[in-house]
């Protein structure tokens, strides 16, 4: 069976494991998905290692790591990693069952179809196909399938990096998610290669007040205090600041679209079409309230009110952004930090970038590669702790009319079959020739 057909089959299989990650140690299905990957790797002759995070009252969180030995041991190994968990999906919002692995209208549908069981499937199909053909990569490829990426990787990549750094011995560079998709700029196809990530801070704001009867005069209402704080936080216009990556990206977009590189950065960002959602968020710090929690009865003023805030600082700015948020909110709002993870950038050069450009030139002649700074986070943050330089490259040539960035964590998440076919061929070429 050819590797494209296998990619689709494996992707549908993986989607059928509901590996929803609800955060804070609440998750489902990862063990079953990891068992599938382990059995797959063992069947094709690899020897996977399972590193499991365990904690009382929580499900086991297994990550799977395996080495595919290359022919040239003098070359440093390349890490290719994906995650097996997904964000939850509300079935009633979808036009298909999000965990059925439906194939229709030229797409594979389901939670994880682009984030990121597509890459997991393309990699597994590639290794299986190569081994069946007797082909081997030049350098050793370390394969990793992590748990818990969608909750910051504490029980997945961070746990593996802490417990078993030896599994990544010699690895200097890594390939993973949220990059590699195509955009069309003035008729020219460009592939977005992720060369950095913004920081991530998940804050918890709490206002305290005077609890009491809902019919009384109350000038110390925790909900009102919290609401005021959220309005002032929401009104902040975080400044646009270009980093080396975003400066290079915008210059290239301006050049390709024949526009002025000195234009408003968001206007240039808009020229990347659907990718503008990612690009414009990489030009500044973003701060979004995402959860509110207060009260328990219509006629009771609660003593406290809480909001969760998702903060994505530009690389290197976590400390400063937190200080400005605390200053803005003042002493009445308690700010606690639930998650604090680094942002980083690498340069858009080196032998792996050259190899990616070369493979894309062979499979999509005339296309170009652009660097970009991811506005979200991936397991590359954990691997950064080992000094591993991470890139986002899930090669997918997507139709111009397809809102690919909108698929991430979106309703009716799906990936075109033609994109998977292209991607698997590119991955195969890259892994075997790099
Ligand atoms: Zn992902």
CA of 216 to the centre of ligand 1 (A): 49
Calculate how far, in angstroms, residue 206's C-alpha sits from the geometric centre of ligand 1: 30
Cβ neighbors of 174 (< 8 A, separation 6 or more) are 78, 79, 80, 81, 380, 383, 388, 389, 390, 391
CATH topology of domain 3-178+376-433: Aminopeptidase (3.40.630)
Q: How far is the CA of 71 from the centre of ligand 1 (A)?
A: 31
Residue with tokens 């030049």, as numbered in its chain: 138
Whole-model pTM: value is: 0.91
**What's the CA-to-centroid distance between 430 and ligand 1, angstroms?**
21
**pLDDT tens across 39-65, in order?**
999 999 999 999 999 999 999 999 999
Torsion sign (Cα): 281, 86, 180, 183? negative
Query: Degrees (nearest 5) of the Cα angle 170, 176, 180?
Result: 130
Expressed in angstroms and rounded, the spacing between residue 340 Cα and the centre of ligand 1 is 18
State in Å: Cα 87 to ligand 1 middle.
9
Category of 75 on φ-ψ map: left (φ > 0), alpha (ψ -120 to 50) or beta: beta
Letter string b/e over residues 73-83, b meaning 16 or more CB atoms within 10 A of that residue's CB: eeeebbbbbbb
| Lowest-confidence segment of 30-39, 69-78, 267-276 by average pLDDT | 267-276
Q: How remote is the CA of residue 178 from the centroid of ligand 1, in Å?
A: 7
338 Cα–ligand 1 center, Å: 20
Q: What is the pLDDT of residues 224-263, one digit of tens each?
A: 999 999 999 999 999 999 999 999 999 999 999 998 989 9
Q: Cα of 378 to ligand 1 centre, how many Å? A: 6
**What 3 state SS string does 212-281 have?**
EECCCCCCCCHHHHHHHHHHHHHCCCCCECCCHHHHHHHHHHHHHHCCCCCCCHHHHHHCCHHHHHHHHH
Mean pLDDT of 372-401: 93
Which residue bears the tokens 């309230």? 289
Q: How far is the CA of 112 from the centre of ligand 1 (A)?
A: 8
What secondary structure letter does DSSP report for 314?
A: P
Say which residue, 363 or 273, is predicted with more confidence: 363
Looking at domain 198-341, its CATH class is alpha beta
Q: With cut-offs at 50, 70 and 90, classify the pLDDT of residue 273.
A: confident
- Closest to 255 in 3D by CA, of 368, 108, 88: 368
Residue 9 host element (H or E): helix 3-16
Structure confidence by residue, pLDDT tens digits, 88-143: 999 999 999 999 999 999 999 999 999 999 999 999 999 999 999 999 999 999 99
From ligand 1's centre to the CA of 150, what distance in Å? 7
- Per-residue pLDDT band for 406 (boundaries 50, 70, 90) equals confident
| C-alpha 393 to ligand 1 mean position (Å) | 12
Are the CB atoms for 396 and 180 separated by under 8 Å? yes
- Distance between CA atoms of 357 and 395, rounded to whole angstroms? 11
Residue 178: pLDDT band with limits 50, 70, 90:
confident
Average pLDDT over the chain, rounded to an integer: 95
Phi, psi dihedrals of residue 358, rounded to the nearest 5°: -65, -45
Q: What confidence category does residue 24 fall into, taking pLDDT thresholds of 50, 70 and 90?
A: confident
Please tell me the distance between residue 365's alpha carbon and the centre of ligand 1 in angstroms.
28
Ligand 1 centroid to 394 CA: how many Å? 11
Q: What percent of the chain has pLDDT over 90?
A: 91
Enumerate the domain spans of the chain.
Answer: 3-178+376-433, 198-341
Strand, coil or helix: what is 392? strand
């Amino acid at each position: 069976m050819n590797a494209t057909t296998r990619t689709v089959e494996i992707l549908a299989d993986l989607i059928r494991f509901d590996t929803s990650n609800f955060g804070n140690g609440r998750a489902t299905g990862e063990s079953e998905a990891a068992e599938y990957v382990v059995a797959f790797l063992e069947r094709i002759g690899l020897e996977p290692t399972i590193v499991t995070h365990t904690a009382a009252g929580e499900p086991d969180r297994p990550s799977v790591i395996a080495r595919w030995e290359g022919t040239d041991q003098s070359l440093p190994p390349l890490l290719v990693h994906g995650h097996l968990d997904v964000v939850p999906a509300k079935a009633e919002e979808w036009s298909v069952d999000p965990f059925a692995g439906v194939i229709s209208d030229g797409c594979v549908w389901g939670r994880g179809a682009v984030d990121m069981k597509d890459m997991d499937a393309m990699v597994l199909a590639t290794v299986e196909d190569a081994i069946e053909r007797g082909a081997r990569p030049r350098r050793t490829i370390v394969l990793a399938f992590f748990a818990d990426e969608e909750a910051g990787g504490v029980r997945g990549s961070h746990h593996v990096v802490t417990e078993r750094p030896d599994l990544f011995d010699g690895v200097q560079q890594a390939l993973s998610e949220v990059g590699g998709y195509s955009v069309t700029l003035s008729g020219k196809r460009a592939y977005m290669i992720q060369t950095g990530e913004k920081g991530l801070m998940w804050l918890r704001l709490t206002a305290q007040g005077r609890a009491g009867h809902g019919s009384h005069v109350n000038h110390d209402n925790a909900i009102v205090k919290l609401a005021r704080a959220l309005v002032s936080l929401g009104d902040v216009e975080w400044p646009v600041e270009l980093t080396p990556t975003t400066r290079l990206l915008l210059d290239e977009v301006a050049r390709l679209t024949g526009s002025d590189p000195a234009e408003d950065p968001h206007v240039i960002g808009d020229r990347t079409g659907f990718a503008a959602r990612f690009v414009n968020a990489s030009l500044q710090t973003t701060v979004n309230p995402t959860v509110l929690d207060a009260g328990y009865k219509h006629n009771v003023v609660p003593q406290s009110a809480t909001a969760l805030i998702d903060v994505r600082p530009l690389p290197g700015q976590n400390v400063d952004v937190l200080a400005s948020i605390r200053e803005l909110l003042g002493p009445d709002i308690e700010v606690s930090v639930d998650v604090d993870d680094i942002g980083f950038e690498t340069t858009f050069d080196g032998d792996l970038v050259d190899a990616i450009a070369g493979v894309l030139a062979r499979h999509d002649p005339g296309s170009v590669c652009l660097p970009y700074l991811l506005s979200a986070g991936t397991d590359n943050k954990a691997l950064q702790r080992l000094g591993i330089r991470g890139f986002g490259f899930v090669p997918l040539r997507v139709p111009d009319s397809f809102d690919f960035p909108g698929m991430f964590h979106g309703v009716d998440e799906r990936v075109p079959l033609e994109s998977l076919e292209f991607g698997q061929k590119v991955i195969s070429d890259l892994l075997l020739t790099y």
